[in-house]
Structure 1
Amino acid sequence: MLIDAKDPNTPAIVSLLAGGFAGAVEGAATYPFEFAKTRVQLREQKGQPTPKNPFRVVYQVYASEGVKALYKGCLPLVVGSVAKDGIRFLSFDTIKNTFKDPESGTLSPLRNLLSGMASGVVASFTAVTPTERIKTALIDDARNDKRFKSATHCIKTILAEDGLMGLYRGLAGTTLKQAGATAFRMGTYNILKDYERKRDIQQTTLTNFANGSVAGTVTTLATQPFDTIKTRCQSSKGASTVDAFRSIVADYGVKGFWKGTTMRLGRTVFSGGILFTTYEWAAAILNPLFMREQHA
């Protein structure tokens, strides 16, 4: 059995550290799915159509480029996940506490979603957009020009060519995706937890994983178009939001906005479960330590 990490008195530092740790574990564990999804969303090379099956994408890359290629861009994503999820859990818990009903200590479904949306916007501006830009540029560059020698070299090149704003390519799409994704992911998860609390359903690793997986599925289906636009914007050469929108319609029509849904579902079902289970576990360990310090 897990200690309930969603204690109203949870210190901010616990939300930050537990969220960061959970983000790192989730990002590293599910990265091949993220890699496959990003490859599918980028423009196809002439004569080389991209398979729809995520396992086939992963196998083809592994067979032709080796296992190392499957983790191209992984480090920026993991670093970004530490910052993103640390900030996301911290801001969500902070915002949620200002919105909750003082008597019941719970939020209405709408307020849960609004809390998640606000924390998603904060995460997009502070951490997600730059790290997603680097990750996507590295994945795109690896199949074409191969001019980036490392994540550091990629950052230097982008800054030299486009300045600081080059790292914020796809800001609009990323912010819309993060606002929607965090609203649905955090909102759905907490709605499920509140439902279970009211019915005295025991909080275990299994229930946390199941709740996280459901939240991940809802998030993917609701926000996939924003993710596809974001990926096109953040290719190695970059594109504006309008150009990305037009290129998707030109290549695949309206259905193109759901390109990579299978890959992303494969990742988010697991990532949602891993993220929230790891967060609850880490927070349950850290909470007593920091709460003792507060009362010392």
Structure 2
Amino acid sequence: MVSGAHDAKTPPVVSLAAGGVAGGIEAFTSYPLEFAKTRVQLRSQKGIPTPRNPFLVVGQVYGKEGLRAVYKGCGALVVGSIAKDGVRFLFFDTIKHAFADPTTNMLTPLSNLLAGMTAGITASITAVTPTERIKTALIDDARTTKRFRSGLHATRTIWAEHGILGLYRGFAGTTLKQASATAFRLGTYNSLKDWQTQRAVPQNALTHFANGSVAGVVTTLATQPFDVIKTRSQSAVGASMLEAVKSVVADYGVRGFWKGTSMRLGRTVFSGGILFTSYEAAVKVIMPLYEGARGVDGNVWMGAYPVVHFFL
């Protein structure tokens, strides 16, 4: 059995469903920290200091604009996270088993990173870039022109003004971030779990949360510049990758590429623990339903469709 992000015998359809459930839970519970990080990374007025405490940012916005403002763009992120993490876990699992050593049924650290990188690129193309673009545009618009009424309205407006390329604004930065972030997040988690399995370390909710949190720290420190560039590219006005890089350097210098690190670190440590703990729990819940729906004749697709449709 291949140890790692989940059991080797977990069917792809269960990986997809469990990943979607975990992604939605993680996105919603950690959104205020994501909101604060995005606000800090967006371009601000000269001479006005930006708070480094994420709770201070959230508190200021809540006091001035209310709870709805704090959760502006949350719907887009949750929908995107359901699709993103469903795809990420599905592809990571598939690629992971293809790369696994036939003797030990485990991956080398490099293979873990390559599997995660491929899964991240796939997720960026299929789900992450457009939903991140809408989320970032909503947060930016809420502090400036306030012309977007909802995520759907923002999508329609951007589509009408810029076409599909408008929804894929910041694709290069987002894909770089997703490829590197998924490589480090899933790769680190899988490597930790392999190491623990070899040493008979019990795998429970506490272990999953701890491993996910460590993966979050590694991911944040390694990929923060890509996250800053992506945020600048996907503002309400939008910018090319080169323009985003230039604006960060002009505003803050090279140190600006790590703007919002402490806020993102707070989120990824928490969200990493939530994501993998939720994923492992979701697999345990969905797997028996899947096996029951599969039936005696082994017809997976007809039997499992209602179950998968319910969770997605």
TMscore range, shorter length: over 0.9
TM-fit CA distance, 1:161: 0.8
Deviation at 1:111, TM superposition (A): 0.2
Residue 284 of structure 2: aligned partner: 284
Confirm or deny that 1:124 pairs with 2:98: no
Q: Could you say which residue in structure 1 is the equivalent of 2:224?
A: 224
Is it true that 1:13 corresponds to 2:13 in the alignment?
A: yes
For residues 78 and 190 of structure 1, what CA distance do their matches in structure 2 show?
24
- 1:100-147 Cα distance to aligned partner (Å, 9 max, x none): 012211101100010000000000000000000000000000000001
Look up the equivalent residue of 1:105 and give its one-letter code.
Answer: N
Match of 1:175 in 2: 175
Return the letter of the residue paired with 1:267: R
Q: What secondary structure does 1:8 align onto?
A: coil
CA distance in 2, matches of 1:27, 1:5: 19
Provide the rounded CA distance (Å) in 1 between the counterparts of 2:182 and 2:260: 19
C-alpha distance in 1 between matches for 2:8 and 2:151 = 39
Is 1:195 the equivalent of 2:180?
no
Identity of aligned residues (%): 67
Distance 2:60 2:42 in 1: 16
Structure 2 residue identity aligned to 1:92: F
The farther-off stretch of 129-138 and 281-290 is 281-290
Alpha-carbon distance in structure 1 between the residues aligned to 2:245 and 2:44: 16
Distance 2:112 2:159 in 1: 38
Residues 139 and 5 of structure 1, relative CA distance in 2, 3 Å threshold: closer
Amino acid in structure 2 at the alignment position of 1:34: E
CA deviation after TM superposition for structure 1 residue 50, in Å: 1.9
2:140 aligned residue:
140
Cα separation, 1, equivalents of 2:149 and 2:288: 44
Aligned length: 294
| 2:28 aligned partner | 28
SS of equivalent residue, structure 1 residue 119 = helix
Q: Which residue of 1 aligns with 2:109?
A: 109
Residue type at the aligned position of 2:198: K
Aligned partners of 1:158 and 1:167 also within 8 Å: yes
CA distance in 1, matches of 2:76, 2:135: 6
User: Who is 2:87 aligned against?
Assistant: 87
Contact kept, 8 Å, 2:76 with 2:131, in 1: the verdict is: yes
Q: Which residue of 2 aligns with 1:243?
A: 243
Residue identity matched to 1:245: V
Q: Using the alignment, how far apart are the partners of 1:238 and 1:207 within structure 2?
A: 41
Amino acid corresponding to residue 63 of structure 1 in structure 2: G
CA-to-partner distance for each residue in 1:141-189, whole Å, 9 max, x for gaps?
Answer: 0000001111111011101111100000100000000000000000000
1:10: Cα distance to partner? Answer: 1.1
- Helix, strand or coil for the counterpart of 1:10? coil
| 2:162 paired residue number | 162
Cα distance in 2 for residues equivalent to 1:174 and 1:11: 29
What SS does the aligned partner of 1:52 have? coil
Deviations 1:71-120 (A, max 9, x none): 00000000000000000000000110100012211101100010000000
CA RMSD after TM alignment: 1.4
Q: Identify unmatched segments of 5+ residues in structure 1.
A: none
**TM-score, normalised relative to structure 2:** 0.92
1:113 and 1:139 map into 2 onto residues whose CA distance is 32
Separation in structure 2 between the aligned mates of residue 5 and residue 127 of structure 1, nearest angstrom: 21
Structure 1 length as normaliser, TM-score? Answer: 0.97
Distance of 1:46 and 1:201 partners within structure 2: 52
Give 1:50's aligned residue. 50
Give SS of 1:237's match. coil
Task: State the shift of 1:6 in Å.
Answer: 2.2
* Equivalence for 1:265: 265
Partners of 1:6 and 1:102 in 2: how far apart?
A: 18
Q: Tell me the residue number matched to 1:98.
A: 98
In structure 1, give the amino acid aligned to 2:254: V
What is the identity, as a one-letter code, of the residue corresponding to 1:79?
Answer: V
Q: 1:32 to 1:200 in 2, by over 3 A?
A: same
Check conservation: 1:5, 1:287, Cα contact below 8 A: no
Deviation at 1:46, TM superposition (A): 4.3
Shift of 1:7: 2.1
Task: Please tell me whether the aligned partners of residues 5 and 189 of structure 2 are also in contact (alpha carbons under 8 angstroms).
Answer: no
The answer as to whether partners of 2:31 and 2:74 remain within 8 angstroms in 1 is: yes
Checking the alignment, whether the CA contact within 8 Å between 1:11 and 1:290 is kept in structure 2 is: no
**Higher alpha-carbon deviation: 45-54 or 253-262:** 45-54
